[in-house]
């Protein structure tokens, strides 16, 4: 490598591509398919102590099978069921779910915007009342309950711990934990 401007541009381009893929992955956006393949090849190389240049010559099916089996072995049964259901969905079903999620996100954003506008209106009315010399009907002195009064309060069950005295330990033993 001569270190010319062309070499720097090549390295910069490779770095930018790598950075772009990693940033997409970290922000839940879809990196390129090539990135996923390279990531899986790196995983296989590390997991099975195989040089990376040799892994790229293995059948891709073999590498993918090992990768997914290892990933799934680490998961709980409920998570495995969720993945199975997701994999069996058609592309149309996935697209419809994404649209529904987008609609829900838009509805939530609209609700938050409406609440912000209402809070601004209430704030302005309080300011107007205070300018007229009237006392604000909302103060920050426990006038606003911090917990929702409409929800049932759940108290934890009473827990009682009985400590044994040293002489009682010898009498009681450890039950199933006693040595045979």
Residue 38 structural domain? 11-88
The number of folded domains in the chain is 2
For residues 42 and 67, state if they share a domain. yes
Please report whether residue 124 resides in a domain.
Answer: yes
For residues 38 and 16, state if they share a domain. yes
H/E run at residue 122: helix 91-131
Please report whether residue 148 resides in a domain.
Answer: no
Please report whether residue 53 resides in a domain.
Answer: yes
What is the pLDDT, as a whole number, of residue 31? 84
For residues 61 and 110, state if they share a domain. no
Report the C-alpha gap between 126 and 136 in whole angstroms: 6
For residues 83 and 16, state if they share a domain. yes
**The token pair that represents 125 in the structure block:** 């009315």
pLDDT in tens, 38-84: 999 999 999 999 999 999 999 999 999 999 999 999 999 999 999 99
For residues 80 and 52, state if they share a domain. yes
For residues 77 and 95, state if they share a domain. no
Please report whether residue 165 resides in a domain.
Answer: no
Categorize the per-residue pLDDT at 163 as very low, low, confident or very high, splitting at 50, 70 and 90: low
For residues 59 and 127, state if they share a domain. no
The pLDDT mean for the chain works out to: 77
Please report whether residue 149 resides in a domain.
Answer: no
**Among residues of the chain, what percentage have pLDDT more than 70?**
68
pLDDT in tens, 102-140: 777 767 777 777 778 787 777 777 777 777 776 655 555
Please report whether residue 21 resides in a domain.
Answer: yes
pLDDT score of 98 more than 60: yes
pLDDT score of 4 more than 60: no
The string of DSSP letters for 17-37 reads: HHHHHHHHHHTT----HHHHH
Categorize the per-residue pLDDT at 101 as very low, low, confident or very high, splitting at 50, 70 and 90: confident
């Amino acid at each position: 490598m001569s270190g010319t401007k062309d070499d720097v541009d090549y390295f910069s381009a490779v770095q930018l591509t790598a950075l772009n893929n990693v940033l997409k992955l970290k922000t839940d956006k879809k990196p390129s398919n090539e990135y996923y393949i390279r990531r899986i090849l790196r995983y296989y190389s590390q997991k099975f102590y195989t040089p990376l240049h040799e892994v790229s010559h293995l059948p891709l099916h073999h590498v993918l099978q090992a990768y997914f089996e290892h990933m799934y072995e680490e998961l709980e049964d409920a998570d495995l069921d969720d993945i199975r259901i997701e994999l069996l969905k058609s592309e149309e079903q996935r697209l419809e779910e994404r649209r529904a999620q987008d609609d829900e996100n838009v509805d939530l954003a609209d609700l938050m915007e409406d609440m912000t506008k209402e809070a601004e209106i209430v704030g302005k009315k309080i300011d107007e009342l205070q300018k007229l010399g009237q006392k604000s009907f909302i103060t920050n002195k426990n006038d606003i309950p911090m917990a929702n009064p409409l929800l049932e309060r759940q108290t934890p069950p009473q827990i009682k711990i009985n400590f044994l005295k040293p002489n009682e330990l010898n009498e009681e033993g450890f039950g199933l934990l006693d040595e045979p």
